[in-house]
Structure 1
Amino acid sequence: MKVNNVFARCVGRRHTTVPLVATLTAAILLSACGDGPSSHADFTANQQLLTTCDPAKPPASLVEIDGTGSSASDAITAERITAVESIATRTAVCSGHLRVLVFSASSAATTVLFDGDLKQLGATDNARLRRVPETVKGVMDTVRSGYRSAMASLPQGASDITAQYRLASEWKQQLGGNSALNLVILTDGFQNVSVDLAAKALSADEAKVLADRVAMPNLAGASVTVAGLGRIAKGAPPSAIVEGLVHYYNALCAKASAATCTSVSDYAEAGR
């Protein structure tokens, strides 16, 4: 884009008359229009992200957030919101579908924060990518506004994390189409329905034995991430306990025949 064209666009938008100074750079003019270095960097990042999309299999992104009290802290909330925003961005760039919910004691004890198609309109890739930031902002405004009330409305005494895999399978079947399920569970991992994962540190073999007792849906072709393991509002569990959680959720994912399995304590992994 020529500097003169950018300048004209700014003037048209602001309805002012500003003398053209030949030494002004396009970057300065873009910044004046609200399209500065930060938004340019985001656009470039989204262009790169677009190259990883599979148009034949747009993402069906399901983010399930543990709403029990053990992970109720401002720091954990901020990390989860950042992860959701990253997932929403990837889903919008790849023109997929996003569903975000909060859960606690069962698959029935859930509150949906957002559910919608994020397919971007436009004649070109760049035109579609320019719509992404506003789309993601709308998603995140909705998620943020409903998050705390959703957490407060759910039972706080129990956490049934494994039930969320069945919920994900059912949602994907209802959604239909040829989309690829991207399941992200944001949780501290401390299941206490049917099994108490805080009772002792599990070896890989012990975790597999426990996982084999769980009825899992077939998630063939899905990408499954469980993030936040061991991250609790007060204190920190021993590293051996956290390692046992990783073993357990990896074993569950393998039993579900998912294409990829990621079980981590770092929420940043959830936004991949």
Structure 2
Amino acid sequence: MQHFRTCTTAVVVLALSIAGCGSHPGAGLAHAEQVAASCPEDGAQVASFIASDESGSRRGSTAKAAQQAVIRSVAERTAICGGHLRVVLFAGSVLGVPVYDSELHLQGATKNARLRKATKVTDEVVEQINESLTRAADDLPDGATDIVGQLNLFSEYRSQFLARGRYQLELTVLTDGIQTAQQSLDDPSLTAERAEELASSFTVPELPGSDIRLIGIGRQANGELLPTPYVDALRAFHVAICTRTKAHCGVVTDAAGA
């Protein structure tokens, strides 16, 4: 997984290439060393936050392969760099039903001994997350989808960890990008210009130094892509929103190696 700071506010479309469930071709010491090389250079820990959209037609999407690959890579990076991982589901008026919330640190007498445990620890974390998905999804209501609201939830998380010491704060939102709370983007005729106008009506927190990725923009739960002009409008909205937070931002349809 590349460090989040490789993302920019420019819209990037990347290809997702993953193996089947249970197969991790990058597993092993060499891969773990590559991930470790992306950890914060100043020795800071990583505080990762994943928010997965389970609203409407996206119910059950967190358990699908594309989302699972992203969750796994974030969990792996957090364990290797050391820090904390929180995973929530959101839908309707609920901003976040907790799925996982724990410190992650590899144990071992040497760096190599620790890194060799990365695959096993990541497997265990993903298993725990998946065991909680059904229960968490059952607690979600129907209603308007508040993707932008995840920024406020992340802001609270960010404040908690900045008060504790040196942390790199990283937010990943898994969503198709169709915001319907406060302003509705549920209109296939939406233009990029109009989407940017709608974005200006939202109040967002300032999150300087944080890394934010929105993954899945314009991608339906069944994997199909929405019409290109509509996808461009959804991207324009979220780029405009994220830019105003002063974070390092990436707004993508698919994430290679994420």
The alignment's TM-score, normalised by the length of structure 1, stands at 0.78
Q: Structure 1 CA distance, aligned partners of 2:183 and 2:196? A: 13
| Greater C-alpha Rg | 1
Give the secondary structure class of the aligned counterpart of 1:133: helix
- Report 1 or 2 for greater relative contact order, CA contacts < 8 Å, sequence distance ≥ 6: 2
1:144-196: per-residue Cα shift (whole Å, max 9, x none)?
A: 11112322320123211111000001011123321011100001111111111
Give the secondary structure class of the aligned counterpart of 1:180: strand
Alignment partner of 1:61 out of 48, 64, 69: 48
**Superposition pairs of residues 169-248 of structure 1, within 5 angstroms:** 169-175=155-161, 176=163, 177-233=165-221, 236-248=225-237
Structure 2 residues without counterparts, runs of 5 or longer: 1-23
Q: Does residue 1:142 correspond to 2:142, yes or no? A: no
Alignment partner of 1:48 out of 30, 34, 43: 34
**Superposition pairs of residues 1-272 of structure 1, within 5 angstroms:** 41-54=27-40, 55-72=42-59, 77-106=64-93, 108-175=94-161, 176=163, 177-233=165-221, 236-258=225-247, 260-266=248-254, 268-269=255-256, 272=258
Q: Is the 8 A contact 1:109 1:155 kept in 2?
A: no
The alignment's TM-score, normalised by the length of structure 2, stands at 0.82
CA gap of 1:159–1:41, structure 2 versus 1, over 3 A, is: closer
Which amino acid counterpart does residue 253 of structure 2 have in structure 1? Answer: S
Q: Which moved more, 1:181-190 or 1:167-176?
A: 167-176
Q: Structure 2 CA distance, aligned partners of 1:236 and 1:128? A: 40
Q: Which structure's residues are more often helix, by fraction?
A: 1
RMSD across aligned C-alpha pairs, in angstroms?
2.2
1:4-43: per-residue Cα shift (whole Å, max 9, x none)?
A: xxxxxxxxxxxxxxxxxxxxxxxxxxxxxxxxxx788522
Q: Which moved more, 1:52-61 or 1:186-195?
A: 52-61
Q: Is the 8 A contact 1:76 1:233 kept in 2?
A: no
Percent identity at matched positions?
33
Which amino acid counterpart does residue 252 of structure 2 have in structure 1? Answer: V
Structure 1 residues without counterparts, runs of 5 or longer: 1-37
